[in-house]
Amino acid sequence: MTVLGVAAAIVAAFIGSGALGGTPINEAAGGALSADATPIAPAGTAFSIWSVIYLGLAAYAIWQLTPTARRSPRQEAVRPWALASAVLNALWIWTVQLGWLAVSVLVIAVLLAVIIRLMFLLGAPRTGGIVEKVVTDGTFGLYLGWVSVAFLANTYAWLADAGIDLFTRIQLGVVGIVVAAGIGIATALLSGGRIAPALATSWGLAWVSVGRTEGAYESPELVWTAVLAVVVVLFIAVAANVTARSRSSA
């Protein structure tokens, strides 16, 4: 069930993303999610992380067929939430394609909550060694870090598209970057220094910085705020990881 559900969700997401000739996400909904739509919109290259996440989800779904995964209480707890995350991702893409920005914010908020729940479940002991660590912890860690940034970008896009000018101002862009960094720091601390979420959050923030070097929201203030946010998120994650390893080996 997990394999079929995740596979169907990936196909729906792939088609909805415009990869087969349809409307790309950054052009859907009147361009509300384009790289120059709001002060915290990431540059277009940032979205290439989805390819890595989809590859991870596919590997995760296939790994679920192995005896090790089938016997794992940890994986049994994770499966329904993993499937829900894949379905919600596909649903988010289609709500954007239909131009339902308010609904897309609701969907991505639920998606974020589901992935947060997944990360708490992944705090249980692993039984599948490095493979489980990569295809499960790595995949959903990247998923969480990226969706955290995407949720804020999506929210700003919706409110800006609704005509609320406050969300097109540089000052509130700075606030959005700080909030994204705060979420990344909180994730690192609460997860015992998981690196994958921090990497994905930093990736998104780095491309926000790149996006602010030109265009309608060109701003050194936003560029350097985002750069500083990347440094801080990665530093806290590494420090938390080292601390957690030291405690476990003590």
Confidence of residue 18 (pLDDT cuts 50, 70, 90): low
Write down the pLDDT at residue 32.
83
Residue 20 Cα distances to 12, 46, 149, 200, angstroms: 11, 19, 26, 26
Least confident of 94-98, 105-109, 176-180, 225-229: 94-98
Tokens of 221: 């203030």
How large a percentage of the chain has pLDDT more than 70?
Answer: 95
Q: Which residue has the tokens 């994204």?
A: 180
Write down the pLDDT at residue 244.
84
Tokens of 50: 């989805």
Question: In the predicted model, what is the mean pLDDT of residues 125-135?
Answer: 88
pLDDT tens figures, 91-122: 898 898 888 999 999 999 999 999 999 999 99
One-character DSSP codes across 36-54? TSSTTPPPGGGGGHHHHHH
Length of the chain: 250
Look at residues 173, 240, 185, 237 and name the one whose alpha carbon lies nearest to residue 211.
Answer: 173
| End-to-end CA gap in the chain | 41
Look at residues 167, 184, 178 and name the one whose alpha carbon lies nearest to residue 222.
Answer: 178
**Residue 106 region by backbone torsions, left for phi larger than 0, else alpha for psi between -120 and 50, else beta:** alpha
pLDDT tens figures, 34-69: 888 999 999 988 888 988 998 899 899 899 889 998
